[in-house]
Amino acid sequence: MTTRDVIDRWRGKNIHVIGPAGTEGATVIEFLLAGGLTTITAHEFRRREDFEAEFTRTHQWLAPDARAGAAQRLLGAPITFRWGERYLEGIERAEVIVVPQAWFRHPANAPLRALRDRGIPFSSMTQLFFELSPSPIIGVTGTNGKFTVAYLIHQMLRSSGLRAHFSGNDRSHIPMLYYVADLTAQDWLVLELSNRQLIDLPYSPHLAVITNLAPHHLDDHGTFEKYVEVKRGIIRHQRADDMAVLNADNPHTAAMASACPHPYLFSRHQEQQAGAYVRDEAMVIRTSRLEQTIPLRALSAPSAHGVENALAACLAASLAGASSAAMVEVLAEFRGLPYRFRIVAESAGIQYIEDFCGDPVHRGFAGDQSRRRSRRDRKHGPAVCPDCRGGAGGGDRGRFYADAGGVVALACESCRADRRHGPSAPASVDGADRRGRRNAGPRRHRSPSVGARGGGGPAVPGVREF
């Protein structure tokens, strides 16, 4: 499906877009306006006077000096706005409704549920990604590790000389609709996909990756079983030539293999005939095309979750044509991503790890490690917060833990809170070796002009979804 196909399908229809202050709503409105559609009603439950502040907060992917102008251009568009108390006024006349991914969580959106049940067509920014991309899509989901794995896949493809684009599910990434004109059938589009994006999504990626599944987002779905079914959506609509990368060590993902046209499993514990596994201090990637071997020493900080992430990323990247040399290069330079179990400094044999976005399963791993005191820890003394230099005892509320390779420390809670909207590297660690060559800084888009070039690269990930 082309951009023209989508525009022609909606031309003349009464289109209602929910949440113009958010990235998803604003992006879709810009896309439709660029196609010449103006029969649009935008519904924002905030008051008009709060719009600019919310738009600025949700558009972190825009350069700071471009956000105010972008907000004013949207406000000046020839469309209808419904603010505050008039939210959803006239929604019953909608012929198409475009919703953000978390719309179902808000009680005020009960009328939307009724319209959906009546059969009014719903769409979303994510659905448009799938409809408009001429490039095959690699979609990555899972309870833990999905952003990291998606990032690694993208880097491995680019390092292999392949054209690849990337969009994560947070406010620091340029939505694909702004650079859809740059995509070709020879490129790859790598998407991080959350549980909310998968709800009611009628498409599956050409290459689906599920890192693992564990109880999470139960406030969205009610039960773990329903959460698993939502995640299963990433493979539900696959066609005969599509592929899936699944975790053989996770029973919930392994059970999905029988429903996939071409499943490839990865495991830290068992050899796989078609997939990836660990053998003799190396990762073996085995597909119908070739067998590749990646030494574990290529990982900067080997750990159980790190090896699983690497296995998933290498397997998916291999299926997309990445070279072994590119995989080794990317893994060797990778030091983690901001807020996600990242090495922020090393000093005196101690690695300092930041994990603001750690999920419950990840935190369970960390808690288990906290009970293991290594000899290196005893030699160098107790861990300290790399930001404020506070110790792990007494009134400090930080979480500090160790493994056999040296003390691993998270910043104290007060310093981690200070980092939520700022840089995540420690202010000073004496003698520290700061790493992060590939993860150095965000890419900022200057202006939300549909079709602008150069929008496909990763930015430093934020904490919140679109």
Give the integer Cα–Cα distance in Å for 8 and 26. Answer: 20
Q: What is the mean pLDDT of residues 192-208?
A: 94
**What pTM did the predictor assign?**
0.77
Taking each helix axis as running N to C, give the angle between helix 64-75 and helix 23-34, from 0 to 180 degrees, rounded to the nearest 10.
60
- At 339, is the pLDDT very low, low, confident or very high (cuts 50, 70, 90)? low
CB 217, CB 227: distance < 8 Å = yes
Tokens found for residue 107: 């009680």
Give the integer Cα–Cα distance in Å for 277 and 267. Answer: 5
CA distances 315 to 209, 272, 309, 311, 355, Å, are 10, 12, 10, 6, 25
Best CATH choice for the domain 3-123 from the list 1.10.287.130, 3.40.50.720, 3.10.20.30, 3.30.365.10: 3.40.50.720
What string of DSSP letters covers 409-435?
EPPPHHHHHHGGGS--S-S--TT----
Give the integer Cα–Cα distance in Å for 353 and 334. Answer: 14
Identify the bridge partners of residue 150 per DSSP, sorted by sequence position.
none
88-107 tens-digit pLDDT: 999 999 999 999 998 988 99
Domain(s) labelled CATH 3.40.1190.10 in the chain stretch across 133-333
244-258 tens-digit pLDDT: 999 999 999 999 999
Say which residues have a Cβ less than 8 Å from residue 391's Cβ, sequence separation at least 6: 382, 383, 384, 385
Helix (H) or strand (E) holding 6, with range, is helix 3-10
Q: If you classify domain 133-333 with CATH, what class do you get?
A: alpha beta
- What is the Cα gyration radius of the chain? 23
Domain(s) labelled CATH 3.40.50.720 in the chain stretch across 3-123
Give the integer Cα–Cα distance in Å for 256 and 258. Answer: 6
Q: Provide the 10 A C-beta neighbour count for residue 176.
A: 26
User: What is the reported pLDDT for 219?
Assistant: 72
Identity (one letter) of the amino acid at 292?
Q
Torsion angles phi and psi, residue 416, rounded to 5: -65, -35
Asked whether the predicted pLDDT for residue 220 surpasses 90, the reply is no
Lowest mean pLDDT among 27-41, 131-145, 172-186, 314-328: 172-186
Q: Provide the 10 A C-beta neighbour count for residue 251.
A: 9
The CA-based angle 85-91-95, given to 5 degrees, is 160
Of 208, 221, 216, give the one whose Cα is nearest residue 247.
208
